[in-house]
Amino acid sequence: MSQVNLQCRNCQVIFDYGMDLLHCRYCDVPLDVQYNGEKRTYVEVSGYQVRMPFDERTSLFSLGEGNTPVIELSKLGSFLGLDRLRAKLEFMNPTGSYKDRGTAVMLTVARELGVTEIVEDSSGNAGASVSAYAARAGIKCHIFAPATAPAAKIKQIRVYGAEVHSIEGTRDDTTNAAVDFYKKEGLVYASHAWSPFFSEGTKTFTFEVIGQYNGEVPDHIVFPVGNGGLYLGAWRGFSELIATGEIDRMPRLHAVQSENISPIASEFIGDKWDIETIRPTIAGGIAVAAPARAGQVLDVLRETNGMAVMVDEVAVADMQRMLARKEGVFAEPTSAAAFAGLSMLLSEGTISKGDSVLVPVTGFGLKDEVRFSDD
C-alpha cells in the first residue's frame, strides 16, 4: 500500500507494508506505522478525522467498538481526595475490553491482505477480541493462552470457535509457544503486543476522550500497563492531535503495574528487573514479564512526564470492591490496579487534589474470577 510503510523507531529503517514482519530485521525493535504520500484513509471519531492504515476502498471491519462513556466518580474521588476523577468504561466494547479497538484495525488489515489463518497469544481479553473479529471475518484463529488464565475468558474465546492452545508455565512461555507455532506452520502472527496496526486502532481512545472533554485535555491519565497497547495508542492519538493543532498539550500519562510482575516500573525507577522473581498476580491482563514494547513505553513515560508505580495484590482487590460498592463499576482486577496506582500517585504528590484525572476501565469484572472476602 503506497500510503503506509512500517518503520523501526530505533534505527529509522523503513519496511514495506504487511503483516509478515513485526520487528526490525537489524535491531529486533517492534515496528510502527508510518504514513506517507497524499493518498489517505480516515475514519470519523467524535467529529475528528483519524488516519488509518488501510486502503480507502476498504471499510473498517467493525463490531461497533468505541464510543465508550466517560463517567464521573465523585464518591471514589472524594474518598481518595480528588475533586475531578472520571472513568472511561472501556469494558463496554463488544467483547468486554479495550482490545476491540486495536483488533478492529488489525483484522481490517488482515482481511485486506487476504490472510486466512492467524495466531495470537493472550491471557484472555486479546484472545477473546481476536477470536470474535476473526469469526466475523471468516479467518481461522489459534489462541495460545496460559493454563492459569481465568476460565471465563477461555470460555469466551472458545465460544467464537477459535482453537485454544493451553500452555503450562509463565505468560511469556505462552508467547514463545505461539511464536514457535506460527513459524512452524507458516501462519500470520496477529499479535496485539507486536503488531504495528493494533495501536493504530487503540489511538481512537484519545479522540473520543478529547471529544468527551469538549476539547480540553485531562491533566493526568492513569493506565494499567502490561504490553502497553492502550497506553501507546493513546500517546499516538494525543501526538496526532497536537501535530494538527487540535490540542496544545499532552497529558501526563502514567503506568501502573503489579509489584509481582513489574518490568517497566522497575526499569523506570532504576531497579534491576529479574524475570526469575515473578509471582502470580490477580491482575492477569498486566502479567507480562517481558513486554515487546517496554522500551517504547519507557520513552513515552519520560516524554510525557509520567510516572510508573507498582501496586500489591491487596490494594488491587480492595480497589475492585471499592469501585463496585461506591460507584457501581465492576472492573476486572487489571483495571482496578490502575485505581490502586492512582491512590499511590496521590499519596506521593504526583497528582494533586484539584487535577483532572481520567482512568480507563479496560475490562469487565465478569471476565475474571470473582473474589469475595469478609467485610
Residues 70-125: pLDDT tens digits?
999 999 999 999 999 999 999 999 999 999 999 999 999 999 999 999 999 987 89
Residues 264, 309: Cα–Cα separation, whole Å: 9
Query: Parallel, antiparallel, or unpaired for β 220-224 and 84-89?
Result: unpaired
pLDDT at 375 over 60: no
pLDDT digits (tens, 9 = 90+) for 139-194: 999 999 989 888 888 999 999 999 999 999 877 788 899 999 999 999 999 999 99
List 261's β-bridge partners, or say none. 258
- Which residue, 164, 167, 144, 146, is CA-closest to 155? 164
* Nearest to 230, CA basis, from 155, 318, 338: 338
What are the tens digits of pLDDT across the range 334-368? Answer: 999 999 999 999 999 999 999 999 999 999 998 87
Percent of the chain residues past pLDDT 70, beyond the cut: 97
pLDDT at site 374: 52
CA atoms within 13 A on the CB side of 36: 13
What are the pLDDT digits (tens) for 256-291? Answer: 999 999 999 999 999 988 888 889 899 989 999 999
Report the candidate in 190, 196, 194, 156 with the shortest Cα–Cα distance to residue 368: 156
Residue 272 is predicted with a pLDDT of: 87
Average pLDDT over residues 225-251: 97
* Average pLDDT across the chain, whole number: 93
Fold annotation for 70-96+198-367: Rossmann fold (3.40.50)
User: Residue 116 carries which side chain, given as an amino acid letter?
Assistant: T
User: What pLDDT score does 39 carry?
Assistant: 72
- Cα separation of 251 and 219, whole Å? 5
Q: Which cell numbers hold the place of 218?
A: 485531562
Burial (CB count <10 Å: 0-12, 13-18, 19+), residue 375:
exposed
Query: Are 286 and 257 in contact, with CB atoms under 8 Å apart?
Result: yes
Q: Which residue did the predictor score with more confidence, 310 or 1?
A: 310
